[in-house]
Structure 1
Amino acid sequence: MDWGEASRIIAQLLVMGSGVLVRAVAQAYRQALANASKTGVAQETLQNAVLKGSKIMTEQEARQILGVPEKSSWEEILQKYDNLFERNAKNGSFYLQSKVHRAKECLENVHRGKDQGAVS
């Protein structure tokens, strides 16, 4: 037996072994999914991921972040937003700046809804 033939046999064994390994991993994954669906773990995990991923800021939370009362005008909200956004841009954190921005977006949607309700 020469080296060429030996290397060909080794290559064939590696290919066959990797095929067996891939099939075993796929089978184990299918079995894990089946077990998870029987116990409800998969559904609970998916529901938790959706809830965490789609956490929407409430109007009350937005007002607390910007420090504006419920009766405040849109101009007052924008003034508070500009002040807080700029302050965090200079020496604050990106996280706080993004929270301020999300709060403004939330209250903007609230004010649009009130304006559309008044026009209709």
Structure 2
Amino acid sequence: MAHRIIFQVAATGARVFGRAFAEAYKQASASQKYAASAASSGSTSAATFSSGGLTLDEACKILNVAPPKGGQANLEQVSERFKRLFDLNDPKKGGSFYLQSKILRARERIEAEVREAERVREREEELRAGWRPKVYKDR
């Protein structure tokens, strides 16, 4: 009698564990496919993951600024709009913490886009100028 109960508990546990493992595998596979498609479409991983899923267009609409053209953005205007909107939505003054966080993520997204474009521009400039590694000689 006891062996039957033990077998039922083990079988149920194995079934639950098997289903959980299969679901985790499906999610990991979908995540891997999504990351591969995002990488092939040219979106930057730093900008995608650090901004909480905000697109550049959404970030520009939140802060009411023009999107960066060619990696150039008026960061003074972005900073000014951020400070104003962030202060207006202060929870201590009756504002919304949710809106404050959206404003913060929007600023981070725009700055990440500008940083990434600057990094690419510097890399291309270095390639055009020619790469000259520093050689250290042992004496």
TM over 0.5: yes
Counterpart for residue 5 of structure 1? none
Counterpart for residue 68 of structure 1? 65
Q: In structure 1, how many angstroms separate the alpha carbons of the residues matched to 2:20 and 2:112? A: 40
* TM-score normalised over the length of structure 1: 0.60
Question: Cα deviations across residues 54-93 of structure 1 (Å, max 9, x unaligned)?
Answer: 6621111100111111255100000000011111113221
Coordinate RMSD, CA, aligned: 3.6
- Name stretches of at least 5 consecutive residues in structure 2 with no aligned partner: 35-48, 126-139
Q: In structure 2, how many angstroms separate the alpha carbons of the residues matched to 1:115 and 1:27? A: 53
1:108, distance to aligned residue in structure 2 (A)? 0.6
- Residue 10 (structure 2) aligned to one of 23, 28, 39: 23
Q: In structure 2, how many angstroms separate the alpha carbons of the residues matched to 1:69 and 1:104? A: 12
Letter in 1 for 2:15: A
Aligned length: 99
* TM-score normalised over the length of structure 2: 0.53
Q: 1:66 to 1:18 in 2, by over 3 A?
A: farther
1:116, distance to aligned residue in structure 2 (A)? 3.0
Identity of aligned residues (%): 28
Q: Does 1:105 align with 2:105?
A: no
Q: Does 1:47 align with 2:30?
A: yes
SS in 2 for 1:70: coil
Q: Give 1 or 2: higher helix fraction.
A: 1
1:47, distance to aligned residue in structure 2 (A)? 3.1
Letter in 2 for 1:116: R
- Name stretches of at least 5 consecutive residues in structure 1 with no aligned partner: 1-12
Q: In structure 2, how many angstroms separate the alpha carbons of the residues matched to 1:69 and 1:92? A: 25
